Amino acid sequence: MTMKTCGGVLLGTLMLFSWDTQAQQENGADKTLSPYFFVENGDPAVDRLPLSKTEVNVVISGVIAGVKVTQTWTNQGKRPINTRYIFPASTRAAVHGLTMTIGDKLIRAKIERREKARAKYEAAKQEGKSAALLEQQRPNVFSMDLANVMPGDVINVELQYTELLVPTEGVYEFVYPTVVGPRYSSQKEAGAKKENSSRSMVLISDGYVSADQSVFSFINKNLNQANMFSFGIGSSINRHLMEGVAKAGKGELFVVTRPEDGPEVARRFKEYVESPVLTGVKLSCEGFRAYGIEPESIPDLFASRPLVIFGKYQGEAEGRLKIEGVSGNGSFARIFDVSETKALEANRALRYLWARTRIANLSDFHLRDEEVVEEITSLGLTYNLLTPYTSFIAVYERIRNKAGNAKNVTQPLPLPAGVSELAVGNNSVTSGDEPSLLALFLILLIVSGAITRRRYRRFSAGALS
C-alpha cells in the first residue's frame, strides 16, 4: 500500500497483485485455489468432454434482467459418466430455478439445505439414477454435478436467475462472464494505516485472491468517512472482490479490460469523484412500517449513478419516503408519495433481488456465526435461492445405470485471456512486471493530483470570500 499527500488531502492507491507460484511453493502456507483447469480421472481417448454447448437467453425489462442459461451435456462415449463443471456467474445473480431434461422427461429441481442436497445427489448416484446438483462455491462461482449420464444421452440443464442493472452515466450494462480466474490464498495478512483525513482511495487489482470477506470487513470497519474506488484490470477480473471493495468503501468499480482503455477509464473516474451530489444520505419512512432496508449504510450519491435501496413493508402501500442529505448548496430533502406507485407483475423479481442483496450483505460484512448462517439458509429456502448453504437438486427417479459403474470426468474451463500458465503452477513461465497495471497506477496518481489541486483551489476561494 502506498500513500501520497498532495495539497493537504491524503490520497491513497492500493495495488493488489497475484504472486509467483514458485514463491508459493517455497512457503507451504500459501497455495493456489485454481481447481478449474484440469480433467481428473478422464480418458480423452475414450470419453469426449461432455459439455457440448451453453446457450444464454436474456430478457431485459426496465432495470431487471431475466436470464436463462441452458447447458447441453452429451455422452458420446461407450460407458456411463459422472461429470462436474465449475463455471462463473454474475455477482448480482439471484438464482431461483433449475430444471433437468432427459429426452422428453422434465425434472424440476428443489431447493434444499446444502448438506441434504449433496446427500440426495450421492444416494441417487449410487443407486444408478441420473441427477443434477447445483452448488455455490463462491458468490460468483457455481458448480454443476451430473450423475449417471448414460451413453448417447443428451441432457439439458437450465438454470434461471434475475439481476438488477444499475446505470452509469445513463448507460445500462449487462455482463455475462464465461471464464473463472484463478484464486490465491496466503496466511499473510495485509495491514493499512488508518487516516481520518483520507477522502478518496483507489485499489487496483485483477482480484485473483481469496480474501474476499476479510478485505470487505477491514475496509468497512476502518475507512471512516473516506470513499474507496476499485479498478479491475484484465479480461476476467474477480468481480465479486472488486465490486465488494467498492461497495464496502461506498465507491464504484471501474474496469479496464485492455491497456489502451486506461486513460479513458481514468477520465471517467476523475469526472465521477468530482461530482458528488449528496453526502450523508439518510432514508426515513412516514405513515407505514418498512424493514429489511438494504444497504444498511447508504452510500453517497454521485451524478453518474442512482441510489438503489431495497426494503420490505407491511400493510398498505401508503405513506411517504423521505431522502435527506447534504448537497453543495446545503441541506437537501426529497419526499416521495408511496401511494402514487403501483405494484406491477413485471416487478415480481424484486423479491428475489431483495433477498439476494440481503444474503450478499450478510455474507460479505458479517461473521459467519450460527445465527448468520441460519438466516442466510432461511432466506435461501424461503425465496428458493441458491446460497452458500442451499443448493438445487434434481433426481430422475428411475434406475438407469443398473451396473452402477460410471467414470468421473471433470469438465475443464479455459484460462482467461492474458492469464499465464503460472495460474496453474507451470514454473517454466517466469514472472515479470505488469506494465499496463503500472501505467494505470501512474495515470491515477496524475488524476488524483488534479482532483486535489481543484479541491484546494475551491477551498482557498471559499476561505478568501
Contact 139, 240 (CB under 8 A): yes
- Rounded to whole angstroms, how far apart are CA atoms 230 and 241? 9
Q: How distant, in Å, are the alpha carbons of 175, 420, 434 from that of 428?
A: 34, 11, 18
Reported as a pLDDT band with limits 50, 70 and 90, residue 452 is: low
Cβ 248 vs Cβ 206: under 8 Å: no
Around Cβ 166, how many Cβ atoms within 10 Å? 13
Check residues 252 and 196 and name the one with the higher pLDDT: 252
Report the C-alpha gap between 456 and 465 in whole angstroms.
Answer: 14
> What are the cell numbers at 174?
449487462
Residues 425, 20: Cα–Cα separation, whole Å: 9
Q: Are 2 and 13 in contact (CB under 8 A)?
A: yes
Please tell me the predicted confidence (pLDDT) of residue 173.
84
Q: Supply the pLDDT for residue 101.
A: 96
Residue with cell 482511495: 201
- Is residue 454 within 8 A of residue 274, CB to CB? The reply is yes
Asked if the model's pLDDT at residue 432 lies above 50, the reply is no
- Lowest mean pLDDT of 105-114, 174-183, 216-225, 438-447, name the range: 438-447
**pLDDT tens-digit map of 407-416:** 888 777 666 6
Sign, CA dihedral 91-93-94-96, equals: negative
DSSP 8-state secondary structure symbol assigned to residue 339: G
Residue type, 68: K
Q: Cell 424493514 appears where?
A: 291
CA 71 to the chain's CA centroid: 21
- H-run or E-run covering 396: strand 390-399
For 24, 86, 187, 206, the CA distances from 29, given in Å and listed in that order, are: 8, 25, 6, 22
What would the grid cell of residue 327 be?
Answer: 448537497
Note the residue count of the chain. 465
pLDDT at 436 over 70: no
Scanning 56-211, the segments in alpha helix (DSSP H) are: 114-126
C-alpha cell at 266: 481514468
Listed residue (250, 251, 333) closest to 296, CA to CA: 250
Give yes or no for residue 30 having a pLDDT over 50: no
pLDDT band at 18 (very low <50, low <70, confident <90, very high): very low
Question: Each residue of 50-91: pLDDT tens digit?
Answer: 888 899 999 988 888 999 999 999 998 889 999 998 888 888
Q: What residues does 419 pair with on adjacent strands?
A: none
* Element spanning 197, H or E: none
Taking only the tens place, the pLDDT of each residue in 160-218 is: 999 988 887 778 888 888 877 666 555 454 444 444 444 677 888 777 777 677 777 77
Nearest-Å Rg of the Cα atoms of the chain is 24
Please give the Cα distance from 161 to 91 (Å, whole number).
Answer: 11
> Which grid coordinates are listed for 267?
477520465
CA–CA distance, 394 with 96 (Å, rounded to integer): 14
* Counts for the chain of helices (H) and strands (E), in that order: 8, 24
What CA–CA distance (Å, rounded) separates 173 from 436?
24
Do residues 159 and 98 lie in contact, with contact meaning Cβ atoms separated by under 8 Å?
yes
SS3 58: strand
Residue 386 grid cell: 441458491
**pLDDT at residue 424, rounded to an integer:** 53
pLDDT, tens digit (0-9, with 9 covering 90-100), for 337-380:
988 887 777 678 889 999 999 998 888 877 678 899 999 999 99
Q: State the Cα–Cα distance between residues 82 and 129, nearest whole angstrom.
A: 11
The domain spans of the chain are 1-34+196-274+430-465
Record the cell numbers describing residue 396, joined without a space: 430422475
Whether the model clears a pTM of 0.85, i.e. scores above it, the answer is: no
The mean per-residue pLDDT over the stretch 418-439 comes to 50
CA-CA-CA-CA torsion sign (283, 285, 290, 291) = positive
Whether residue 144 has pLDDT greater than 90: yes
Strands 129-138 vs 390-399: parallel, antiparallel or unpaired: antiparallel
Instruction: Name, in order, each residue with C-beta under 8 angstroms of 440's C-beta and a sequence gap of 6 or more.
Output: 204, 231, 233, 256, 259, 262, 265, 266
Q: Give yes or no for residue 226 having a pLDDT over 60.
A: yes
SS3 6: strand
- CA–CA gap between residue 437 and residue 434 (Å, rounded): 5
Per-residue confidence band for 243, with pLDDT thresholds at 50, 70 and 90: confident
**Using an 8 Å Cβ cutoff, are 341 and 297 in contact?**
no
